Structure 1
Amino acid sequence: MTTALAPKPSFLKSQVNGLPRPFWALWGGTLVNRLGTMVMPFTGVYLTQARGLSIATAGLVMAVFGAGSLVSQIVAGSLADRIGRRATLSGGMVATAVCMTALGYSTTLPAILASMFSLGLVIDAYRPASSALVADLVSPVDRPKAYGLLFWAINLGYAVGMTAGGWLAGSGFMWLFWINAVSCLAFAALVWRAVPETRPARGESETGGWGQVLRDRLMLAFTVVVLGNAFVYAQTVSMLPLAMVKVVGLSTAEFGLAMAVNGVLIVLVQPLVSGWLGRRDHSRTLALGIAVLGVGFALTAFVTTTLAFAATIVIWTLGEIVTAGIAGTILATLAPAHLRGRYAGVFGFAWSLAMLLAPLAGGWLLALGPRMLWFSVGGVGLLAALGQLAIGPAIRRRAALNDC
Structure 2
Amino acid sequence: MPPSRLETSRPVTGSPESVLDATGSAGAGPGDRGGARRWFAETVGGLSATYWYLWTGSLINRAGGFVIVYLTIYLTTVQGFSPSRSGLVLGLWAAGGAIGTLAGGVAADRIGRRITLLVAHLGGVLLLVALAFAQGFWVIAPLTFLFGLVGEASRPAFQALMVDVVPAKDRLRAFTLNYWAVNVGFAVAATLAGLAAAADPKLIFLVNAGTALAPFLFILLKVREPHRERPAAAPHAPVERAGIGTVLRDRVFLGFVAVNLLISFVFMQHLSTLPIAMTGDGIPAQQYGLVIALNGVLIVAGQLFIPKLIKSYDRSRVLAVAALIVGLGFGLTAFADSVAFYALTVLIWTVGEMLNSPSNSTLTAALSPAALRGRYQGVMSLSWSVAGFAAPVLGGYVQQHLGDEALWLGCGVIAIVAAAGQLWSGPARERRAEALQAA
Normalised by the length of structure 2, the TM-score is 0.83
Task: Give CA-to-partner distance per residue, 1:204-242, whole Å, 9 cap, x none.
Answer: 885220111011000110010110110110111122222
Structure 2 CA distance, aligned partners of 1:114 and 1:384? 33
Pair 312,116 (structure 1): closer, same or farther in 2 beyond 3 Å: closer
Structure 2 CA distance, aligned partners of 1:373 and 1:109? 27
Matching residue of 2:388: 355
Pair 287,107 (structure 1): closer, same or farther in 2 beyond 3 Å: same
CA contact (8 A) 1:230 1:350 kept: yes
Matching residue of 2:166: 138
Q: Answer yes or no: is 1:238 the counterpart of 2:288.
A: no
Matching residue of 2:412: 378
Matching residue of 1:286: 319
Matching residue of 1:34: 62
Pair 308,338 (structure 1): closer, same or farther in 2 beyond 3 Å: same
CA contact (8 A) 2:261 2:387 kept: yes
RMSD: 2.5
CA contact (8 A) 1:152 1:270 kept: yes
Structure 2 CA distance, aligned partners of 1:394 and 1:14? 31
Pair 181,364 (structure 1): closer, same or farther in 2 beyond 3 Å: closer
1:177-196 alignment runs, 5 A limit: 177-196=205-224
State the 1:49 CA deviation: 5.5
CA contact (8 A) 2:187 2:295 kept: no
Pair 106,369 (structure 1): closer, same or farther in 2 beyond 3 Å: closer
Matching residue of 1:11: 39
Matched to 1:371, the amino acid is: E
Matched to 2:294, the amino acid is: V
CA contact (8 A) 1:144 1:275 kept: no
Q: Answer yes or no: is 1:269 the counterpart of 2:307.
A: no
Structure 1 CA distance, aligned partners of 2:131 and 2:284? 31
Matching residue of 2:246: 212
Matching residue of 2:193: 165
Equivalent residue for 1:325, pick from 355, 358, 371: 358
Structure 2 CA distance, aligned partners of 1:165 and 1:255? 11
State the 1:134 CA deviation: 1.4
Q: Give the unaligned 5+ runs of structure 2.
A: 1-21, 25-33, 233-238
Structure 2 CA distance, aligned partners of 1:338 and 1:106? 41
Matching residue of 1:20: 48
Matched to 1:395, the amino acid is: R
Deviates more, 1:127-136 or 1:361-370: 361-370
SS of aligned partner of 1:376: helix
SS of aligned partner of 1:197: coil
SS of aligned partner of 1:10: helix
Structure 2 CA distance, aligned partners of 1:316 and 1:59? 23
Matched to 1:117, the amino acid is: F
Equivalent residue for 1:226, pick from 232, 235, 260: 260
Structure 2 CA distance, aligned partners of 1:75 and 1:36? 25
1:78-89 alignment runs, 5 A limit: 78-89=106-117
SS of aligned partner of 1:124: helix
CA contact (8 A) 1:199 1:338 kept: no
Pair 57,128 (structure 1): closer, same or farther in 2 beyond 3 Å: same
State the 1:53 CA deviation: 5.1
Task: Give CA-to-partner distance per residue, 1:174-228, whole Å, 9 cap, x none.
Answer: 3333322222222111023223313636898852201110110001100101101
Matching residue of 2:427: 393
Matching residue of 2:9: none
State the 1:124 CA deviation: 2.0
SS of aligned partner of 2:382: helix
Equivalent residue for 2:126, pick from 98, 103, 106: 98
Structure 2 CA distance, aligned partners of 1:209 and 1:72? 16
Structure 2 CA distance, aligned partners of 1:44 and 1:391? 36
Deviates more, 1:257-266 or 1:330-339: 257-266
Count of residues in Structure 1 that have an aligned counterpart in Structure 2: 400
Matching residue of 1:69: 97
Pair 172,69 (structure 1): closer, same or farther in 2 beyond 3 Å: same
Normalised by the length of structure 1, the TM-score is 0.90
Structure 1 CA distance, aligned partners of 2:346 and 2:81? 33
Structure 2 CA distance, aligned partners of 1:396 and 1:353? 25
State the 1:283 CA deviation: 1.6
Task: Give CA-to-partner distance per residue, 1:276-316, whole Å, 9 cap, x none.
Answer: 32443222111111111112222223334443333322221
State the 1:332 CA deviation: 0.5
State the 1:52 CA deviation: 5.6
Pair 258,59 (structure 1): closer, same or farther in 2 beyond 3 Å: closer
Structure 2 CA distance, aligned partners of 1:110 and 1:309? 34
Structure 2 CA distance, aligned partners of 1:236 and 1:122? 23
Matched to 1:356, the amino acid is: F
